[in-house]
Amino acid sequence: MTHTSHIHDDGSHHDHDHPHAEISVGEKPGYYAVMETAVRELLIAKGLITANDIRHQLEVLDSRTPALGAKVVARAWVDPGFKARLLADGRAACEEFGISFYDDTQLIVLENTPAVHNLIVCTLCSCYPRPVLGLPPDWYKLKPYRARAVSEPRVVLREFGTIIPDDVEVRVSDSTSAVRYLVLPMRPAGTENLGEEQLAALVTRDAMIGVIPVTLDQEVGQ
């Protein structure tokens, strides 16, 4: 699996240092675009949903970013009671935190420890904890990651720059349409004096997927 510069991009920006082809206004929509439009118009015509329902759902999806998951992780680091509830029932704890779920999926939170490192994958498609992390990164959806994360997880982690010692167990959890996973990374040493907001700023999307740890590699305002 070849990683390019977008592998560790958190989606916050994109460098436009290459030319873009001019957009053709006369370009015909693809198969899936046509089917999406047809199904949407049919559902609206039958009165099953409204255009406003669709707009609201899109706004909900757009509002979900890894910052939500980072806040959950930071709260678990500073509040043992919340951490226990999060590990017991991830969805209920997130709802308690004010994060709503727009489907019936369960959320299982997996804690990284000095003895166990967790890695999340979806081998069949790209099931992902969208209510707390937003849209998945491109590499998460690609077949090389989906296959190799299961067959050779330590090699994949190494390609992300994460070296797992031989005495640490690597557990790979395969998401499904009914169950999604979120990694609770280890709190890095040296953060004892940081507040919850400062801790959340350290937590990245990739750490909550399990491909990298949380580190103190940036300055945090005191």
Identify whether 54 is part of a domain: yes
Residues 96 and 79 in one domain: yes
Top pLDDT among 31 and 160 is at: 160
| CATH classification of the domain holding 99 | 3.90.330.10
Q: Residue 220: inside a domain, yes or no?
A: no
Q: How many whole angstroms separate alpha carbon 107 and alpha carbon 128?
A: 10
Instruction: Let me know if residue 9 belongs to a domain.
Output: no
Q: How far apart are CA 136 and CA 61, in angstroms?
A: 12
144 assigned to some structural domain: yes
For residue 15, name the pLDDT band (cuts at 50, 70, 90): very low
**51 lies in a domain?**
yes
| 95 and 194 share one domain | yes
Residue 115 and residue 41 in one domain: no
Residues 109 and 197 in one domain: yes
Overall average pLDDT of the 153-159 stretch: 98
Tens-place pLDDT, residues 77-118: 999 999 999 999 999 999 998 898 877 899 999 999 999 999
Kindly state the tokens that stand for 140: 């998460």
* DSSP string across 104-120: S-EEEEEE--SSEEEEE
pLDDT of res. 220: 45
User: Does 147 share its domain with 54?
Assistant: no
Query: Which residues are tagged catalytic?
Result: 122, 125-127
Please choose, from the candidates 9, 4, 1, the residue with its C-alpha nearest in 3D space to the C-alpha of residue 212. 9
Residue with tokens 């299982």: 108
The confidence score (pLDDT) of residue 100 equals 87
Question: Which domain-ending residue is among 44, 61, 78?
Answer: 61
Assigned domain for 85 exists: yes
Of 61, 82, 101, which residue sits at a domain end? 61
Query: What pTM value is reported for the model?
Result: 0.73
Q: Are residues 150 and 52 in the same domain?
A: no
Judging by beta carbons within 10 Å of its beta carbon (0-12, 13-18, 19+), is residue 190 exposed, middle or buried? exposed
Query: Are 109 and 157 in the same domain?
Result: yes
For 31-69, how does the pLDDT look when each residue is reduced to its tens digit (9 = 90+)?
Answer: 656 665 676 677 678 776 676 655 545 445 555 589 999
User: What does the longest C-alpha to C-alpha distance in the chain come to?
Assistant: 60
The reported pLDDT for the residue numbered 163 is: 98
In a domain, 100, yes or no: yes
Are 129 and 55 within one domain? Answer: no
Same domain, 74 and 113: yes
Encoding tokens for residue 195?
């507040």
Residue numbers of the domain that contains 117: 65-209
Q: Are residues 54 and 69 in the same domain?
A: no
As for how many domains the chain has, the answer is 2
pLDDT, average across residues 119-144: 93
- Pair (105, 178) in one structural domain: yes
Question: Has residue 14 been placed in a domain?
Answer: no
Block residue for tokens 């949380």: 214
Residues 103 and 197 grouped into a single domain? yes
Rounded-to-integer distance, Cα 159 and Cα 56, Å: 39
